[in-house]
Structure 1
Amino acid sequence: MSLTIRVQTADFSLADEYRVLAQDSRCGAVVTFTGLVRELPDAALTAMELEHYPGMTEHVLEQLAQQAQQQWQTGAITIIHRVGKLALNEQIVFVGVAAPHRKAAFAAAMYVMDFLKTQAPFWKQELTASGRYWVAAKASDQEAQQQWQRDA
């Protein structure tokens, strides 16, 4: 059961990442999630800039992937998170999970994303026509994490 964890400035190929996850013949499902830089409802976003805590970030992501593998008995898990300056519609994050069955693959992918958003040491700035703004944690992300903890 392999884990691939990467924090990088370079973009990634969905097709390539999927092919790697789909190689395990014991797995009947591959679920992927890709997060994109999106337009803001209240401001004209021109870009997003992401920073991280090198070493610690990768460690947190690896722990999340290991927890998901253990809980849902998955196969390979890949987490890729980009840092640096990203324009609208660029890919930010990839989570891919191979598992024997679809239900486990979906649950593990959702778990990783929900905890990644609240536990991984990333900092985001939104760059808009009126200035730069740090992105605050969302209450909905905290609620999603708490729901997993209640369900455990």
Structure 2
Amino acid sequence: MNLGLVASVTSAIQPKAEDSFAISFAPLSIEEVYGKAETSANGAIVVMSGMVRNQTDGKAVIALEYQAYEPMAMRVFYQIAADIRQKWSIVNRIVIYHRVGRLRVGEISVLVAVGCPHRSEAFEACRYAIDTLKHNAPIWKKEHWADGSSSWVSIGACEVQGC
């Protein structure tokens, strides 16, 4: 066992109490995530909802199956929030939720919300969060196609390949 890796995973950045992060088998709720980003100091809340679409590169998709290395994924979520707070210090709330398990077409796989006094910073921070999550988080998806075949892919590879 690599004790250096274990130490780095367990010594994650501590999130701020007002932020919220989760990896869940349960369906994700836009209303819940929006509520967690809400505060009277906000002038804007930007929510990004990623969902299972019915095709990839013209190939019919019937479901996606997500897996995550949760301790490291949560660390990535915390780091994203820390980066956001460094780049956009006026951000009030950050919420990052990702679903795991088998999801049908139309189900929400990821929700990111950023609450901020101004819309431009809220949009920029939300985009940074989802783009960085897709690039850095140890989350994989298995695409299940209508023809009965399936294939695993890292969501980070999707950022490069556009899936």
TM-score scaled by length of structure 1:
0.86
Inter-partner Cα distance in structure 1 for 2:98 and 2:81: 13
Give the one of 76, 83, 96 matched to 2:93.
76
Q: Is the 8 A contact 1:3 1:62 kept in 2?
A: no
Inter-partner Cα distance in structure 1 for 2:19 and 2:32: 15
User: Which residues of structure 1 form unaligned runs of 5+?
Assistant: 144-152
Segments of 4+ moved more than 6 angstroms: none
Q: Is the 8 A contact 2:28 2:109 kept in 1?
A: no
Task: Map Cα deviations across residues 8-33 of structure 1 (whole Å, 9 max, x no partner).
Answer: 010122122212322x2221110000
1:48 aligns with 2:64: yes
Identity among equivalent positions (%) equals 35
Shift, 1:142, TM fit: 4.5
Please give the residue correspondences for 1:10-25 in structure 2 after superposition, counting only pairs within 5 Å: 10-22=26-38, 24-25=39-40
Matching residue of 2:149: 131
Specify the code of the residue in structure 2 equivalent to 1:44: A
Count of aligned pairs: 140
TM-score scaled by length of structure 2:
0.80
Partner of 1:11: helix, strand, or coil? coil
Inter-partner Cα distance in structure 1 for 2:67 and 2:139: 6
Specify the code of the residue in structure 2 equivalent to 1:57: A
Inter-partner Cα distance in structure 2 for 1:96 and 1:134: 27
Matching residue of 1:89: 106
Shift, 1:100, TM fit: 1.0
Inter-partner Cα distance in structure 1 for 2:121 and 2:160: 22
1:111 aligns with 2:116: no
Partner of 2:96: helix, strand, or coil? strand
Inter-partner Cα distance in structure 2 for 1:92 and 1:118: 16
Inter-partner Cα distance in structure 1 for 2:86 and 2:97: 20
1:63 aligns with 2:52: no
Matching residue of 1:33: 48
Q: Give the RMSD, CA atoms, in angstroms.
A: 1.6
